Amino acid sequence: MQNNSNNAPHILLIDDSPEEIRGLVVVLRQQAWQLSMASDARQGYQRALSLKPDLILLDVRMPGMDGFTLCRLLREAPATCRVPIIFLTSSAAVEERLEGLSLGSVDYVLKGCDPQEVLARIRIHLQLAWRETAPEQTQVPAEPGSDDQVSLRVAMRLIAQHLDEMPSLAELARKTGTHEKRLSSIFREHLGCTVFAYIREARLRRGQELLAESAMDIQDIADQVGFRSACNFTTAFRERVGMTPSQYRQQAHNKGSSQRTDAD
């Protein structure tokens, strides 16, 4: 973990309405910790990268970039990928709590919670994080990634997670903290293809994996990787691989049987 000179943990609080959690801020300042604050997600992202805090308290609903998008970026950036993130928010819907936890946060606390309880949760996660990273403190720090590389990794992860029902390009860009034109430019500059070409390739690669590793029928595979019908999947697959899905599956199974026979 990255601490200041007296080894006091460094907490970064990112919230556009700190007056809502004034009591918690007072309690945090009373601790032997270093406290930094940011008033919006983009400022918080830059401060997280430069300060490398030991723990981040993050609001969800903020103007511009929301806390979920920021969490995705922080989880992909080498400098912050292991920093514990606690969502501290008034967003109480079950769906939002589940999304926050699924993004890799360690806790989800509702505003209005007693400051001493939040303090106890912070202490627990600081201790857990210290135990996890202590054996690795002598390792060379990871090279920082550029903003474009972080956005690209976030987009690639989102695409892999939503092959069956892909968000629009605008929604994909919003969730990666950028806009449509910039995201398209990032894919062309770093991967040499459009976002849609990458999505199509990712769907077909996943289709190949399912054909080789599962007994799912072609229609179910087509549904899972985002094709409207088995016919559309078969046409695209033949163009990409040079054989039909059934032929590919048979070839993969024959190869597996041959390898097992050789091993015996």
The three-point CA angle 215-221-224 to 5° equals 130
- What are the boundaries of each domain within the chain? 10-136, 147-263
Q: For domain 10-136, is the CATH number 3.40.50.2300?
A: yes
**Where are the strands (E) in the chain, listed by range?**
10-14, 34-38, 55-58, 85-89, 107-110
Res 192 pLDDT > 80? yes
Q: What is the mean pLDDT of residues 131-160?
A: 70
Res 102 pLDDT > 60? yes
- Express each pLDDT in 152-169 by its tens digit: 999 999 999 999 999 999
State the virtual CA torsion across 216, 220, 225, 228 in degrees, nearest 10: 150
Residue tagged 């999304």 (tokens): 99
* Secondary structure (H, E, C), 159-211: HHHCCCCCCCHHHHHHHCCCCHHHHHHHHHHHHCCCHHHHHHHHHHHHHHHHH
Instruction: Return the biggest CA–CA distance within the chain.
Output: 70
21: alpha, beta or left? (left if phi > 0; alpha if psi -120 to 50): alpha
Q: What is the mean pLDDT of residues 40-60?
A: 95
The encoded tokens of residue 202 equal 């990712």
Name the average pLDDT for the chain: 88
Residue tagged 């601490």 (tokens): 3
pTM above 0.85, yes or no: no
Q: Phi and psi (nearest 5°) for 130?
A: -65, -40
Range with lowest mean pLDDT among 7-11, 13-17, 139-143 = 139-143
Range with lowest mean pLDDT among 110-114, 222-226, 255-259 = 255-259
CATH superfamily of 147-263: Homeodomain-like (1.10.10.60)
Give Rg (Cα) of the chain.
23
